[in-house]
Structure 1
Amino acid sequence: MRKTWYGGARIGLSSIALLCAAISVLTPPSFAQDSQDLPGILGTDNRKPIDSSAWPWSSIGRINRTAGGFCTGTLIATKFVLTAAHCMYDSRNGRPLAAQEIHFVAGYKRDDYVAHSIARNIHVADDFEYGTANGEALSNDWALVELVNEIPLKPLSVHEFAREGEKLKLPEGASILRAGYSQDRAHLLAAHSGCSVEGTAESGRILLHDCDATRGDSGSALLLKTQDGDYRILGVSVAVRTYGAQDYGVAVPSVNFREQLSTRNLIP
């Protein structure tokens, strides 16, 4: 049985690594460790630093936790941030974090940022179960952080998938990318552009992709760039998992949470 990382605590699971950075003191803003030692770097490391002060990157931010560590989140409304559900728990003891323990910093870059707010409420997917690494838990690994203060930035839209049976159909000619705050470059936003969705699992409730993402990138959005230059959230990056002999990035597709967001009047 292979040892993997779950929120920073090493446990015995056969085929999954969640990507929450669970240390609070981090290396300087350079790649201080070999990227091949990091889970989720699939082959060549294709992450590149990107200007976090310009949209859409300014609407992506670091989710800092007073319990230690951080994740990545994306504004979908001026007071709501989309992220991974497992980021809302203390990895040392499985305790759900209180809202006041969460601080969202949008457009973060070293000692600078665009906007910030602590959380007012945390809304975790109803069927998410922390500490369970099966496909059902992964498919529900998303959460909304409701902020105390509005963030005066343009949110990112949530993609509405078309289905073909268990398949999720992507628009033709679309470009796929992912951007987040990685543990080894904790103070700079980095993106992998030109990656791809490789398929689905769990009856279409999980997206498999080859975008590089490692610890700290949990909760980051898998993005679709349309031909007219718009950006849409395809899903939430949560883990790396082995299917057969191949490692894939795992994302919760927007089809799993779009209806709930619409019911709450957070998206059209």
Structure 2
Amino acid sequence: MPAIVIALVSASVATAQEATSRLKGLAGENDAMVWQAVGRLDADETGFCTATLIAPDFVLTAAHCVFSPRTGEVLATEDLTFRAGLRNGRVAAERAISQIEAHPRYTPGTGVSADNIRYDVALLRLDSPIPTHELDPFLVESRAFSPGPVSVVSYGRGRAEMPSRQRVCQMTDQRQGVLLLDCNVTFGSSGAPVFSHENGRGRIVSVISGMGVYDGRKVAYGMSLPQVVADLKRQMRANASRPPAAVKRVTVGTRVSPESRNGAKFVRPGGS
């Protein structure tokens, strides 16, 4: 594989190549409604990235979006806010974050490498679900995706208040889980969903990790998702905070009743 020169596509980086002629701003309300499950992930410390609702309470984005560039540590949940369908100051839904899980094989602060791109994925739990009658989550493609046409919906520098869609770009190659795309990305596009349209409504086949030069060509980088997202869902379940156990009082007595056949009366919450 030729040497890879990459700039991460986060809002805090200073320079980028942007060709807006290939992008369509989702200004029309009907057009924008189709993509409202894509939103802006705002971080108090680092700016913003793009993220996508993939279940009523789960949001998918790039791992480097949830790390502090100053400390290299995962951001606090209270520092992040997901604004679904943000368009000119209005949102379809807005939620705080209650849990952050970055893939354990993503290593912040070690520079950009093919291995970091491969695992540059994070899964976030919303503090309360967004009902499906309000927003329909996008599905993550469960099988490997071959090179071919894709589309990207993202926020970015110069279009931070309204998502744009590149209706057709190409996944040109895949090397050991790293996807090469000719899609137009800029700062803020990190975590943006890459959609396949093979089976009707778009399915997410990758998220944008960065941009750079590959074999003399300007490209965007993503990753193969099925195994990485499966890893993150297991990690999310394993690390989820568990509700406190319900407490039941036991009173010992001598009178036998239907509720206390063995002299023990169980008092349930809300009743006796």
TM-score (norm 1): 0.78
Match of residue 20, structure 1, among 10, 27, 50: 10
1:212-259 deviations in whole A, cap 9, x for unaligned? 111001001011112x53110010101012222112110122134243
CA 1:182–1:44: 2 relative to 1, 3 Å: closer
2:25 corresponds in structure 1 to 49
Q: CA contact under 8 A between 1:67 and 1:101: conserved in structure 2? A: yes
Identity among equivalent positions (%) equals: 28
Q: CA contact under 8 A between 1:66 and 1:101: conserved in structure 2? A: yes
Tell me which amino acid in the other structure corresponds to 2:146: K
Choose between structure 1 and 2: higher strand proportion: 1
Residues in 2 aligned to 1:59 and 1:145: alpha-carbon distance in whole angstroms:
14
Match of residue 151, structure 1, among 130, 133, 144: 130
1:89 equivalent in alignment to 2:54: no
Runs of 4+ in 1 over 3 A off after TM superposition: 51-56, 261-266
Q: CA contact under 8 A between 2:149 and 2:171: conserved in structure 1? A: no
1:244 equivalent in alignment to 2:215: yes
Q: CA contact under 8 A between 1:139 and 1:256: conserved in structure 2? A: no
Residues in 1 aligned to 2:170 and 2:227: alpha-carbon distance in whole angstroms:
19
2:105 corresponds in structure 1 to 127
Shift of 1:40: 5.0
Match of residue 64, structure 1, among 42, 50, 54: 42
CA 1:107–1:101: 2 relative to 1, 3 Å: same
1:198 equivalent in alignment to 2:172: yes
Residues in 1 aligned to 2:236 and 2:124: alpha-carbon distance in whole angstroms:
15
2:262 corresponds in structure 1 to none
1:169 equivalent in alignment to 2:151: no
Q: CA contact under 8 A between 2:122 and 2:232: conserved in structure 1? A: no
Tell me which amino acid in the other structure corresponds to 1:253: S
Residues in 2 aligned to 1:38 and 1:206: alpha-carbon distance in whole angstroms:
23
TM-score (norm 2): 0.77
Match of residue 196, structure 2, among 224, 228, 231: 224
CA 1:207–1:135: 2 relative to 1, 3 Å: same
Tell me which amino acid in the other structure corresponds to 1:111: G
Shift of 1:150: 1.1
1:208 equivalent in alignment to 2:180: yes
Match of residue 104, structure 1, among 74, 82, 92: 82
CA 1:176–1:129: 2 relative to 1, 3 Å: same
1:188 equivalent in alignment to 2:178: no
Structure 1 vs Structure 2 CA RMSD: 2.5
Residues in 1 aligned to 2:10 and 2:117: alpha-carbon distance in whole angstroms:
14
Shift of 1:149: 1.4
1:142 corresponds in structure 2 to 121
Tell me which amino acid in the other structure corresponds to 1:154: D
Unmatched segments (≥5 aa) in structure 1: 1-12, 24-36, 163-167
Q: CA contact under 8 A between 2:4 and 2:214: conserved in structure 1? A: no
Greater Rg, structure 1 or structure 2? 2
2:153 corresponds in structure 1 to 179
Shift of 1:184: 1.4
